[in-house]
Structures are given as C-alpha cells and as structure tokens.
Structure 1
Amino acid sequence: MGELSLSKCQPIEIDAKNPFENDALGREENIENLTQFITSFEQSIVLCIDGGWGQGKTTFIKMWQQYLKNLHIPTIYFNAWESDYTDDALIALIGEISLAIDNLSGEAESKAKGLLSIIKDKIRYLIKDGSSKEWLTIVSAIGSFISKGHIKADKIAEFATNLNAALAKDQIEKYEKSKQVLLEFKQALSRLAECYSSNEEKKPLVIFIDELDRCRPDFAIEVLEKAKHLFNVDNIIFVLATDKTQLGHSIRAVYGQGLDVNGYLRRFIDFDYLLPLSNRKYITHLINKFSLGKYLLLKETHYIEPKSFLENMVDKYNLTLREQEAFCNIFNIIVRTKDNAWFDYWVIIICIFLIILKLKFPDIYKNLENKNNSDFLDETIKNIDSHCASDDKNSNYYLELLEFLFLFLKPLNSLQSSYNSNSLKERIEKNAKKFNLDESKIDRLLGFTVRYGVPYISLPILLDIKNSIEISNSFEIN
C-alpha cells in the first residue's frame, strides 16, 4: 500500500506570487471582497475575522497578508499569543511596527525611524504606570522604620498628608501631560503608517492580530483597548483573527460571568466577518491527499456513494478543518491495517459515522462495549435525530439512513438472521414513542427497506469497527 502517511493540520505554503496557489478552500473571493471593504474606509476600523478552533484563521489572514503585499498595501502580522509574556501590549505592538521598518528603504526608512523615535519617547507616558509601585515601596520602607521606633508616631499623620498630596500632584501632572502626548502620539503614528506605503496613492497600514483568543485574559483585553483607543488613527486598519466565543470566556474571566460580552466587544470591534466554511471542498482535498478514493468512491448499484455520505456528515456534524484531518488520519490507518475483504459497503458507512462520533461525542462513542449496549443505541439514535433539520426533510436522508441502520441493529448472540416486513414494522412501532417518531418518519424509515433491504449490521460488527478505529490511538501523528 505504500508508506503510511499521517499528518496534522499544517500551515499551507503560501506562494509569494500567487497566494492562492495551494488554497483548498476557495478563499480567494472572500479575500478579494474583504480587501475592497477595508480599503473603502478613510478612517481607522477594527475588523474581526471570527472562526472556531481549527477553521483555518491563521492561514486565511497570512494568505490575505500576501495578497495585500502584492497590491503594495503595507501589512504587519502580530501574533498576540507569542507576545503575551510582555507586561504591556502597547510595547509589543510598537515593537512589531518597529521591526517592520527593516523592510523599508531610502527616504521612507529615514522618515519612519525619526517618527518611531518620537513615538517611543511618547509611550512612556502611555504605558502602565509604575509610580504607585514606587510609592508602595517607599511606604513599606518607612513602615519598617516606624515599627522599629526610628520615626515618632506623631509624624505619621503629617507624612501621610504630604504623601497623598505629592502622589495626587504627580498623577494630575501625568494626566495633563498624557492628553497632549496622546495627541502627538497619534499624529506621529498616522504619519508613520504612511511611510509603509510605497506608492503615492494613500493606502492604509493593515495590522493583523492573530491568536487573541489564546492569550491570557488580561493581555487579550489590553490588546483590544490599545488597538481601539491608541491606534484609532487615519491610515491604520486592524484585522483580528479570533474565536469570539473563546475570547468571550477570557473577558468574563476578568470582568465576571454576568458581563454582556457582545456589548463589551462592540466598544472595540467595528465589524465582524464570520469565516465561511468550505467543508465539502476541504474533505474532497483530503480524500485526494490521503488517496482514500478507492474506499469512498464505490459505485455500488442503487447504493449511495460513501464520499457523498461523508460530505453530508461533515456538514451535519460541523467538523472543523482539523477534525476533518483527524478523520482522514484515522480512516487512513484503518485502510492500511485491514484487508480488502473487511470493507463491506455498510461497514464503511458505519465506520465513517463512528469515527465522527469519536471526534465529536466521545462519551457516546465510549459506551459502545461488550456489555449492555442499550444506552449506546438510545443515545446514538437521539444524537442522530438531534442533527436532523426540522424544516428540510430532504436534507435528513443520510441521517435517517443511519437511524434505520441502528434501529434494526442485531444484538449480541442474536439467532435471527433477518427481519420480515411484519417484524420490521413492529420494531419501528415499538420505538416510535421512545424516539418520538412521527408517521411520516416511520414511512421514510420503512422506505429504506424497499431500496436497500435490511443490511446485516450487528453489534459484533460495530465492536469490530470500533476496535479497528482504536488502533489509531497507538499512532503518533507528527
């Protein structure tokens, strides 16, 4: 069969001349539309690319970044997660802008370095204030002297009054200074952004911020605040790539579970863009990559194609890109560890579903064992039914096929080799109330027997399929 090929989700190679050369998800149109959108604004905006874990956000924005570079639109990539070891998000952001100066040349580089010098001088008024820590150190030291009797008690009140006055004066002066500094900071920052555009045509500096949802909560919040309040200047656009649901958990960890996260984020994010899924395109790409067509493109008479069944399950169970890769890795191991005689048509269909169950609902999957499997069957049928679309019966075909297979699953040590039409109807009617099956659904389930007969799928076969799936646990995926 050739060398065993296992892989996990790796960043695709982005060609400098054609960033969409290796695009398996059809992202080009999305990126073209977003580019037109952000460049239509004259003022600063913050755009959020919202996508769940494993949906390819990083690849998307890096592909977009290269596309913008080819249009001579300046960009900076900032991985927030790799920078959250710093004490201040502002310093990290300015650091990334500073590093990008190395890509400039001539007059633009000289001008940018001069402006950056001004910005660095200003940020000492804008970063986290450490003066309170200094005062606490002084107070602590004086407290030690008091406790040892070196300072008389009647001087404590006088000292405290003077200390409060000095601290208040210091803070007021810093506040007054910071207002002027902030204006000068923003002016210099806007002029600095212009330096990155190589053409006379005014183009924005696009700063991509990635992995915000993986940062420690306080740092993630600080990045949002700095991006909106300090970088809200002409010529700069922020693009955040994040899982907003996970980011919401981080924000609540700081401000409390009762916080209206959506309301809070609206203060910082101007527009949301839900990263579209291209599940069918990607699973087709993976089938070709892993050479699985032999098993998934079967052309059985009057039977559905396993590939079509898999595509439908990927949609219905909303498998992420990484979960799709995990599926193909597991299936790839199975086809390389079982002989061809094992791959009965219905075994492939059940195998596809059990792998998905393992990835998405491991607790249900684990209930399949050499004991009483009634809980597994009940939970599985209920799970399948929960993924059926109530308003589109046609889209439920593959799911109802699964329900049909599990409803007529033959138990361990069953002496009955087949069902007749009466026993089929009795079995369905017996389960009608248990699983809330209406008359139309009962008719559809009985209709499968007309088209397919009753496939011989038993619990021992399910257990064999599960054992074959579990072989993958012994492989390390690099």
Structure 2
Amino acid sequence: MIADEDIWSDDLLDRRGDAEFLISFLLGRYEERRRAKIYGSYVLNLNSGWGFGKSFFMERIGKELHKSHPVVFINAWKNDFSDDPYTMIVSELDSFFASTINAGSPEKTSKIDRALDVLKTHTGQILWAGFKGVATQTAKRYAADAVENIREVVQEALPANVRSNGDTSEAIDAGMAAIGTELSKVPEKLLDSFAQNLIEQYKATKNSQDQFRRSLEDVLRIYAAKEGSLRLPMFVLIDELDRCRPPYAIALLERIKHLFDVDDIIFIVATDTEQLSHSIRGVYGDDFDSTRYLQRFFSRSYYLADPKPAAFIDAYIRATGTDVSKLRAIANLNTINYIAELSIRLKMSLREIERAMDILSGLTTTWHHSFPIQLSVMFPMIYGFIQQADIVDRSGNSWYRQTLKSIAPWSITLEREGVIGADVQRVEANLWSLDYFDSGGKPLRAVVRQKREEIRTRRGDNDIFLQETLDQFQTELSARSRDEFPDESPSLIKQYPDMIMRAGSLR
C-alpha cells in the first residue's frame, strides 16, 4: 500500500487538504443518500483553471481512494478521437472488472464473467441504436423509403400505355393527371409508417438502456460480494474534459447522466468550467446559457482555490525544467520568492504569472552567456509586455519607470556575504531595479568606472548596494571582453525588450 507521504510528497500546490475533505464529503454523502433511499449516481464537478493542478489532484485523490474503493481513471482528451464517449467509459469499466476475474473463487469469478457478458450485450444494442444519431439516421432511411414509395404509387397510377413509354417527362405529366386523389393518400400512409417505426425504435433503445443500467448494477453487486474486493462505491475519475472537442465533451456528460445513473458509482469530473462554458456557447450560440446548462449534469461543484504565487511558480519551474541558475534576483535572494513578491506587488493574476513564466522560461532556454539575467529588470519588463506597454521607451516618463515607482515600497536587507558582524543595509527593491535599468542603457565600461568611483568617493567598501551592482556589471564586462565588443556598447540589459518580444512570440 502506498503511504500518504509518498502520494503527496510532491504536492507543491498544497492540495492534500482538498483531497481529504472531498473524500470525507463524498463518502458521507453516499451514506446519507442510501439512508434516504435516494438512488442513482453522484457527479461532482472539480472546477479549476487550466494549469492550476487539476490533473495532479485527480491522480493523487485517485490513489487515495484506491486504498479502499474501486477506482477507474479516464483521460477524456486522450480518447476524444472516438465517435462516442460511451464506448470509452464501458471499455474502462470492462477492463477494471475483467482484471478481477482471475482472482478469487471460481464461482464468484464465473458470476462476474457472466455479468460482464450481459453488460457488453446491452452495450452493443445501445451502440447499434446510435443514441441521438438514430433519429437522424432513421429519418434519412425512411425519407428514402418515402421517395421510393411515392415513385411506386405514381408508376402504378399511370395508364399502361404511358408506363411503357420511355419519355419520362411525358409519363410524369400524364401520370400527375391520372393519379388524382390517390396521391393525397400517400403522405398520411407514410407518416403513419414513419411514426410507428420511430416509436418502435425508441422503445427498443429505451429498453436497451434500462437493461444496461440493471446489468451494470448486477456487476457492481457481484463484485462487492467477492472476497477481498474493495468496498463500494466505485469512483470514476474523468480528467481533461475541458480540452476535448465541445460536441464530445457534451456527449460525455449526457452519457454519464442518462446511461450511468446507477447506484454505487460516484463520478469526479475535472473541468475548467468557465472555458468549457465558452466552448459550449461556440456550439449553441453566444446567447445560450451554457453555465446553467452544465449545472444540470453535476450534483455539486468543488472549486479548487487558486494556488499562492510562490507555490505556483515553484510548480511551474519543476514542471518545465526552467534553469533558474541563469537568473539572478537582488542580492542573491531566492528566485522563486522574489518573482512571487514582485508579481504580488504588480498585482498580477495567476494567468499573467503563468504567461510571464512562459516567456522567462523561453529566455533562459536561449540564454548562453556566462553571466546571469538580471531578474529585477527583466521580470517587470515581461509584465509590461503582457500589458502591451511600451517596454522599449527609456525616457523619464516611460511605462517602466512609472510602474516601478508606483509599486508598494519593498525593502531588501543586504548583508555582506561571508563576513561576521558585517554592515547591514536596507535598499528599496524598486529603486534597485531602476538603477540597474538606468545603468543598462549606458556604455558598460563607463558604468563599471562610474560604480568604482562612487564606491571610492562616497562610502568606501561599506556600500553593499553599490558593490553588488558593480560586481554584476563587472562580471558581464569580463565575460564580454573576450568577445571584443566596442567600447561604447551598453549592457545586454538594453536588449532585454527585444529578447522579451521574441520570446513572447512563443505560444
């Protein structure tokens, strides 16, 4: 058995508490419904934005549930190539139950085997009926039959000498005059026949669906009675629904509601409900109330809270393999904490943080210099790009300057590394960023000379802020001297806007 600590060892977004609550809630609601004699399946919608950890959560809660309950996990997106999601769900259920056939006593094994055969028989009958498509297919078939019947009636009504005439136009003209009142009787006969066939088809389909549900209940009952079985309810977890084609996603929800509405099954369906609603409106029209439409499929919805920025950024870096060694925050501050704090002060949404991290990740992939990217300049510029601001402008009223000056004060404590009892200095982080930004637009050699002179004339070696900025520009100068760049060349900081715009073209 997998230990709890192993299941949640990489829970960077702190979802374990959500899982424990949901398991307790779903099992408690299951018992309440049984006592109240409320029948049918229970469908929970797990709602969270794309990229906020739904798949991780579904996988981990599935492992937790599988300690004591049968669990079937379905990735809807990987299977939306099929014509009907019903086949996919039945196939996954069949695979789960079939795996238990070889375990246990021969008598119980035989019962499960026979119950599965019956279940698949009714599955075939339902597939043959074709669900909603049956009405269209039947209509087409009977429409073709109607045309053939009309043709036969017309031919029979034609005079014998006209039927033998090869001229179709003359035959039709003569026939139309001849059939008279006989033609008026055709629609009524055909409509009666068409209606009767549809009624028979509907009865057959409904019967197959009822038989399917009873067969599924039988399989669950026999499984639960087998020695060593996990206890009911069974959990069916469906992930990635919001990535499916809208018609497929709609069909899957309809199949769950109408065909798998049986006792002892709990569905957990993970969706980005807002995105799924947009997709459904794309099918039915902008005026369609897709949110209310979705609610009819779910018993309840559970909203995963947005992760905290630091946890979200950490998870993103781990998931993408972003090389943070190429980034330098202020005074060697932790990269993740620095980005998180700056994003909070810039009032960035998680979507904006994700987009910013996408761009930053692209930049680290293409950064091949031995000196780091100055994150205190780069990240605010990336945010400006996302906001469609002018990040090239370096004037006194530029977006960059105005934004950095307007954010809430943020003091950074500096202490010289490796020196016991060294001076401690506090610097405003936004002012630090502006100093790097300004220096980055000047010739790099001149900046290094200027910082050296400031240290010599102002505070000697005690100004940790000046020493830090000097060290960083000196590192870049030393690395680039080997490339023999011209004396008037500025720091690569001046090229950050162009780099960001190119990386931002990646989607």
TM range (shorter): 0.5 to 0.7
Counterparts of residues 186-205 of structure 1 (less than 5 Å)? 186-194=213-221, 199=228, 202-205=231-234
Partner residue in 2 for 1:267: 296
Contact conserved, 1:119 with 1:189, CA < 8 A, in 2? no
Within the alignment, does 1:159 sit opposite 2:166 as a pair?
no
CA distance in 2, matches of 1:261, 1:375: 49
Contact conserved, 2:376 with 2:433, CA < 8 A, in 1? no
Partner residue in 2 for 1:230: 259
Partner residue in 1 for 2:123: 120
The verdict on how the C-alpha distance between 1:134 and 1:44 changes in structure 2, with shifts beyond 3 A counting, is: same
Among candidates 321, 344, 364, match of residue 332 of structure 1: 364
Partner residue in 1 for 2:71: 75
Q: Aligned Cα RMSD in Å? A: 4.7
Q: 1:234 deviation in Å?
A: 0.7
Within the alignment, does 1:251 sit opposite 2:280 as a pair?
yes
- 203-212 or 403-412: bigger deviation: 403-412
Among candidates 46, 49, 53, match of residue 46 of structure 2: 49
Counterparts of residues 239-318 of structure 1 (less than 5 Å)? 239-276=268-305, 277-284=307-314, 292=324, 295-296=327-328, 299=331, 306-314=335-343, 316-318=347-349
Q: 1:248 deviation in Å?
A: 0.5
Contact conserved, 2:49 with 2:272, CA < 8 A, in 1? yes
Partner residue in 2 for 1:24: 12
CA distance in 2, matches of 1:285, 1:272: 25
The verdict on how the C-alpha distance between 1:89 and 1:290 changes in structure 2, with shifts beyond 3 A counting, is: closer
Query: RCO greater where, 1 or 2, for CA within 8 Å and sep 6 or more?
Result: 1
Contact conserved, 2:309 with 2:340, CA < 8 A, in 1? yes
Contact conserved, 1:190 with 1:236, CA < 8 A, in 2? no
Among candidates 123, 136, 147, match of residue 143 of structure 2: 136
TM-score, with structure 1 as normaliser: 0.68
Q: 1:111 deviation in Å?
A: 4.2
Partner residue in 2 for 1:64: 61
Q: 1:318 deviation in Å?
A: 3.3
Q: Structure 1 unaligned segments of length 5 or more: list them.
A: 1-13, 418-450
| Letter matched to residue 214 of structure 1 | R
Once the two structures are superposed, what CA deviation does each residue of 1:361-398 show, in whole Å capped at 9, x if it has no partner? 4x43xx434xx66799449957997xx8xxxx78999x
Question: Which structure has the larger Rg?
Answer: 2
- The count of residues paired between Structure 1 and Structure 2 equals 407
Counterparts of residues 296-445 of structure 1 (less than 5 Å)? 296=328, 299=331, 306-314=335-343, 316-319=347-350, 323=355, 326=358, 329-330=361-362, 332-333=364-365, 336-340=367-371, 347-358=374-385, 360-361=386-387, 363-364=388-389, 367-369=390-392, 377-378=398-399, 402=430
Contact conserved, 1:211 with 1:242, CA < 8 A, in 2? yes
Among candidates 490, 497, 501, match of residue 466 of structure 1: 497
Partner residue in 2 for 1:183: 210
The verdict on how the C-alpha distance between 1:327 and 1:472 changes in structure 2, with shifts beyond 3 A counting, is: closer
SS at match of 1:283: helix
Contact conserved, 1:55 with 1:322, CA < 8 A, in 2? no
| Letter matched to residue 116 of structure 2 | K
CA distance in 2, matches of 1:194, 1:314: 53
- 43-52 or 189-198: bigger deviation: 189-198
SS at match of 1:41: helix
Contact conserved, 1:16 with 1:66, CA < 8 A, in 2? no
| Letter matched to residue 127 of structure 1 | F
TM-score, with structure 2 as normaliser: 0.64
SS at match of 1:77: strand
- 115-124 or 27-36: bigger deviation: 115-124
The verdict on how the C-alpha distance between 1:291 and 1:121 changes in structure 2, with shifts beyond 3 A counting, is: closer
Q: 1:271 deviation in Å?
A: 1.7
Q: 1:52 deviation in Å?
A: 1.9
Among candidates 182, 190, 196, match of residue 169 of structure 1: 196
The verdict on how the C-alpha distance between 1:264 and 1:396 changes in structure 2, with shifts beyond 3 A counting, is: farther
Q: 1:22 deviation in Å?
A: 3.8
- 133-142 or 237-246: bigger deviation: 133-142
CA distance in 2, matches of 1:260, 1:279: 33
Within the alignment, does 1:98 sit opposite 2:94 as a pair?
yes
